[in-house]
A = this chain, B = another copy of it.
């Protein structure tokens, strides 16, 4: 509770406590579609199924620290901005015991995403489209373990709700990118084709983009200019790590 006790001498240590975990939704962009990093389970339950990377929250670390530790230990990545997504507490979501899981989401550019995927065994990526299905590179639907398909659904909705007015889109891009790349990100998240001049105007008028003067290499046609993301304007009233939640 942290607030008020049922009775003054209520002793919570007598009661069974649930385990608390963090699950990570690690998202990248591959082939114009959203992609999520998954780990294949090698033990029961749900052996062979694909699952989100996760781990227990230790008694002496915060939720954010646990999420960052799991990201580092299991995927070998660090220094990423993790955003809390939602907390899942169904009774039987894990058959072994009562587990409450706090889901976190992080976005990666293609290079980091590939590096994370190559960091360990039984890691893979799956596309993660608007219809809620998760498919491997061949297009075969992938059954996910536990309630992880639900978690992915929440992540997709969160992205869709925030892409229009927040800066999350830049998390899926490398440091330098073209307006076309940025539009690809928005179109992948929204599953909609956007109007090019309008998108361009909107993004430039926002003042977040810094032209570098450099041009896109390896273009078979006229190369586009490369931009950098200036960084978010100071969020006026955002409580620490609150997340706006669409």
Contact = CB atoms under 8 A, between A and B. Distances in A.
Interface string A80-111: 00001011011101100111111000000000
Contacts of A153: 237, 239, 242
B74 A90 contact: no
Contacts of A64: 89
B99 A1 contact: yes
A12 B19 contact: yes
Given A59-B15, A59-B98, A154-B242, A53 B4 contact: yes
Kindly state the interface size class of chain A when it binds its partner: 35 or more
Q: How many identical chains are in the complex? A: 2
Interface stretch (A39-47, A195-203, A213-221): A39-47
A146 B2 contact: yes
Nearest to A66: B89
B101 A2 contact: yes
Given A102-B87, A161-B246, A243-B245, A55 B17 contact: no
Interface string A216-245: 000000000000000000000111101111
Contact of A18 (B20, B39, B101, B130): B20
Which of A20, A73, A101, A242 has the most chain B CB within a 10 Å cutoff? A242
Identify the 3 closest CB pairs spanning chains A and B, nearest first. Answer: A245-B245, A244-B246, A63-B89
Interface of A: 1-6, 8, 12-13, 15-23, 39, 41-43, 51-64, 73-74, 84, 86-87, 89-91, 93-94, 97-102, 130, 132, 145-148, 150, 153-154, 157-158, 161-162, 237-240, 242-246
30 contacts: A1-B21, A2-B21, A2-B51, A2-B99, A2-B145, A2-B147, A3-B21, A3-B55, A4-B53, A5-B43, A17-B19, A18-B20, A57-B89, A62-B90, A63-B89, A64-B89, A84-B86, A86-B243, A87-B87, A89-B102, A130-B237, A150-B239, A153-B237, A153-B239, A154-B242, A157-B238, A244-B246, A245-B245, A245-B246, A246-B246
